[in-house]
Structure 1
Amino acid sequence: MKIGELLGIGNTARVYRWGKTEVIKLFYDQNFAVMEAKNAELINSLMLRAPKYGGLVDYEGKKGLIYERIDGPTMLWNIEPSEESMFYNARLMANLQYEIHQVKNKLLPNLKPEITHKINHSQEISNHDKQIITDILASLPDGNSICHYDFHPDNIIMSPNGPIIIDWLNLLAGNPEADVTRTSMMIQSDSLPPNAPGWLMHRESRELFNKEYVSEYIRLTGMNDEFLEEWMIPTLAVRIDEMQGEYRQEIIDKLQTRLKKQDEVDEGN
């Protein structure tokens, strides 16, 4: 079978039509294809809001994943430039993420070890700072909730049958606080997708969306927002090597600002 129309381009893969009812996701890095294939099998077994997985195939020397084709815009493009629309979708996103976190599973916690490994192998963080960051991470609570760890409006397809969540490459098991902090960080970032919708171009809109999203998640769980600051330093640290150019520098600057504040707090104590 030949691939069809190009449907999407991401940081790790391209997605094409595959027959009448499916898509094929072709990865640039073949190791990522194998990783996501394992995650896709797990996600389907847990009956999460995700496209049905059809298997791992070889196509012209590349590994591809076959998925059910889901029609509809992503939430990112479904949001209108109004407070009502932003608030509605921010609350919906929090509810969808909360739903993921409530799914029972038998996974062993791996979020903290995976983050620790990536931080320790970063070339952008000094050994001194790595020690501080990993010590902070070690002090944070474990968990074994399903964490998407790339959960944002462009990974939620608003299909006729309801929201469907895509791109499970980063799937981890851990504390949901880490997952929410990661999402909050990405929403507030200046790193925007190509041809981003108008509302996303305005920092005030992103901050408004983030505030409503976090408030709704806290309402659902009864948590307070202190966890955001507790998890933000390791969350920023692991994000650095995922970014390039000015967006990488943005993350580095935010990390250094928080490390400096942390050092001042430690000296005060």
Structure 2
Amino acid sequence: MSEIGRLLGAGKEAEVFEHGTLALKLYRPGRPKAPAFREAANLAIAEKLSLPAPRVHVVGDYHGRWGLLMDRVTGTSLADEMTPEPQLSAVKEMAALHQRLHREPGTGLPSLKARLSTNIERAEPVPPDLRDRLLLALAALPDDDRVCHGDFHPWNIMGSGDGIVIVDWLDACSGNPAADVCRTYLLMRRVLPAIAEAYVVTYAKTAGLTPDEIFTWLPVIAAARLAEGVPEENEDLLHLAALAPVDA
């Protein structure tokens, strides 16, 4: 088997390395095996649906770290087309790609609303009275059964044209597309605030939704994000979570 090669990319949860002609995604030291197998299962579902995602070859323990051996993705990220000057064409391309996912049934993927509920329960910065409001608000929001990526942003969209690929499928769920778009907005708003707003408007217009139908998910999406260990975002996320309706 090929040796682990140079580092291709890194995030909070994992690093990606060259491994022969493939790519090896290794979760951080100390992480259990469950995330690796969960992402592999999600990618298998994406492959069955012919969605643009890397194909998994092996899941295993590599030098004490769990990881996935998968197709290597080449090219630059869509984020490169959005900085330093935002390109409306890139925003439209991203929205069309997101809708492609949302047209597919999320059979076999975990429930998005169940995951949000679990994360809201786990989010230590959320005070008990606000937590109760958020859980009531979440229960009142409309459910669905579409493929939701859960981490859909321009840095996870690689290549272009027919060679475009979406990476990082660990958080994929079955749920309401509006919630998935709201999550994308939340992930982009700190770094690319103007593009984040434009993205919601663009997606809503082409999907037959209103921006309000997307933003109604913002309090629960923000509260769930508080369980992810991003302390530099806590103040902003708590402010957004507090927008949950009092009489949900």
Matched, 1:57 2:55: no
Whether the 8 Å CA contact 2:45–2:108 is kept in 1: the answer is: no
Corresponding residue number in structure 1 for 2:76? 73
Task: Name the aligned partner's letter for residue 200 of structure 2.
Answer: V
Corresponding residue number in structure 2 for 1:25? 25
Which residue of the other structure, out of 32, 42, 45, is the alignment partner of 1:42? 45
CA offset digits 1:26-67 (Å, max 9, x no partner): 002133212212212222122111112112022112221011
Q: What is the CA–CA distance in structure 2 between the aligned matches of 1:16 and 1:63, rounded to whole Å? A: 13
Matched, 1:242 2:243: no
Tell me: CA distance 1:108–1:25, structure 2 relative to 1, closer, same or farther (3 Å): closer
Whether the 8 Å CA contact 1:22–1:67 is kept in 2: the answer is: yes
Q: How far off its partner does 1:221 sit? A: 1.5
Whether the 8 Å CA contact 2:109–2:173 is kept in 1: the answer is: no
Whether the 8 Å CA contact 1:158–1:164 is kept in 2: the answer is: yes
Name the TM-score, length of structure 2 as normaliser.
Answer: 0.91
Count of aligned positions: 244
Q: What is the CA–CA distance in structure 1 between the aligned matches of 2:54 and 2:40, rounded to whole Å? A: 13
SS in 2 for 1:55: strand
Whether the 8 Å CA contact 1:145–1:176 is kept in 2: the answer is: yes
Q: How far off its partner does 1:159 sit? A: 4.5
Matched, 1:213 2:199: yes
Whether the 8 Å CA contact 2:106–2:175 is kept in 1: the answer is: no
Task: Name the aligned partner's letter for residue 23 of structure 1.
Answer: A
SS in 2 for 1:66: strand
Corresponding residue number in structure 2 for 1:193? none
Corresponding residue number in structure 1 for 2:97? 96
Q: Which moved more, 1:30-39 or 1:87-96?
A: 30-39
Is the radius of gyration larger for structure 1 or structure 2? Answer: 1
Percent identical pairs in the alignment equals 30
Whether the 8 Å CA contact 2:39–2:170 is kept in 1: the answer is: yes
CA offset digits 1:204-257 (Å, max 9, x no partner): xx333123322221222211111133211100100012143322232123323x
Q: What is the CA–CA distance in structure 1 between the aligned matches of 2:26 and 2:74, rounded to whole Å? A: 19
Q: Which moved more, 1:142-151 or 1:38-47?
A: 38-47
Q: What is the CA–CA distance in structure 2 between the aligned matches of 1:94 and 1:17, rounded to whole Å? A: 30
**In angstroms, what is the RMSD of aligned CA positions?**
1.9
Whether the 8 Å CA contact 1:240–1:251 is kept in 2: the answer is: yes
Whether the 8 Å CA contact 1:144–1:175 is kept in 2: the answer is: yes
Corresponding residue number in structure 2 for 1:128? 129
Unpaired runs of 5+ in structure 1? Answer: 190-199, 201-205
Task: Name the aligned partner's letter for residue 142 of structure 1.
Answer: D
Tell me: CA distance 1:103–1:5, structure 2 relative to 1, closer, same or farther (3 Å): same
Q: What is the CA–CA distance in structure 1 between the aligned matches of 2:184 and 2:219, rounded to whole Å? A: 14
Whether the 8 Å CA contact 1:241–1:248 is kept in 2: the answer is: no
1:140-219 alignment to 2 at 5 Å? Answer: 140-159=141-160, 161-189=162-190, 200=191, 206-219=192-205
CA offset digits 1:95-130 (Å, max 9, x no partner): 100010002353476111111111112221122111
Q: What is the CA–CA distance in structure 2 between the aligned matches of 1:108 and 1:171, rounded to whole Å? A: 7
Task: Name the aligned partner's letter for residue 241 of structure 1.
Answer: A
Q: What is the CA–CA distance in structure 1 between the aligned matches of 2:25 and 2:46, rounded to whole Å? A: 16
SS in 2 for 1:15: strand
Task: Name the aligned partner's letter for residue 61 of structure 1.
Answer: G
